[in-house]
Amino acid sequence: MHHCYGKRGVGSRWQDVLVSNCRYSADKAAAPVYICNMSKVTQNVGKWGKTGVPRKGWACVNVEDLGEPSSICEMCESQEIRYVHYMEHPQYLGTIGAGCVCAGKMEEDYAAAKFRETRLQNRTHRKSRWLSRKWRISNQGNFFINTDHFNIVIFENEKSWHGRIIDHISQKTITSKRFYATEEKAKLAAFDAMIFLKDRRN
């Protein structure tokens, strides 16, 4: 059985959907693509059928890639998901982590949910290639890369790794507050920070 991936991102980081509502297509040169029929969401399962849980008027506040299908949609309470859309409602206490299909129904905007999912999926693919990109070495001996109008520098200090990002558009400089055990972990953290800063531009 194929899991249906949609998707995320500030940062961050797209989501599984009902296999029965999707058709699968694959390209040898690309990741599998699942096209979803969101109109077929069953609304009498899980929280869809519970009193006190709004069926519409929700807003997505974040989307997360879990790395693999490892959670259950908290709205339908039945679909295993990888990409989680965190939904909030002014008349509901707390946040619901939903799949792409349920999220689209909750906010009554299928296109928005699918866009978030696709954008997050693209970022996931980009992040998987991040370490293999060609990093240059500065005169100080630090790894650096210029991309998306950012200058990203990774450097070692006292047996731990750190990062610094310069946004050439806002002219702001951000230095990592955390210490990383390896060069690779520092580079991946810098990618997430770059995506966060890039989203804040919009």
pLDDT per 10-residue tile (average), the chain, 202 residues: 35 31 36 39 80 95 85 95 94 96 96 91 89 95 96 94 94 89 92 84 72
In a domain, 130, yes or no: no
**Cβ-contact 16, 82 below 8 angstroms:** yes
Q: What is the pLDDT of residue 32?
A: 37
How far is C-alpha 120 from the geometric centre of its chain's CA atoms? 4
Final residue of a structural domain among 76, 96, 122? 122
What pTM was computed for the model?
A: 0.57
Final residue of a structural domain among 122, 147, 178? 122
Could you tell me the CA-to-CA distances from 19 to 114, 132, 168 in Å, in that order? 15, 33, 43
Q: What is the pLDDT of residue 26?
A: 35
| Domain shared by 103 and 169, yes or no | no
Tokens of 150: 């950012």
| Domain shared by 142 and 115, yes or no | no
| Domain shared by 16 and 115, yes or no | yes
Could you tell me the CA-to-CA distances from 77 to 9, 11, 43, 49, 81 in Å, in that order? 24, 26, 11, 11, 10
| Domain shared by 88 and 117, yes or no | yes
In a domain, 127, yes or no: no
**Cβ-contact 63, 83 below 8 angstroms:** yes
CA distance 45 to 26: 31
Q: What is the pLDDT of residue 124?
A: 87
Number of structural domains the chain divides into: 2
Q: What is the domain range of residue 24?
A: 4-122
| Domain shared by 109 and 142, yes or no | no
| Domain shared by 21 and 88, yes or no | yes
In a domain, 14, yes or no: yes
| Domain shared by 23 and 106, yes or no | yes
| Domain shared by 88 and 32, yes or no | yes
In a domain, 128, yes or no: no
| Domain shared by 42 and 100, yes or no | yes
**Cβ-contact 35, 50 below 8 angstroms:** no
| Domain shared by 91 and 25, yes or no | yes
Q: What is the pLDDT of residue 39?
A: 43
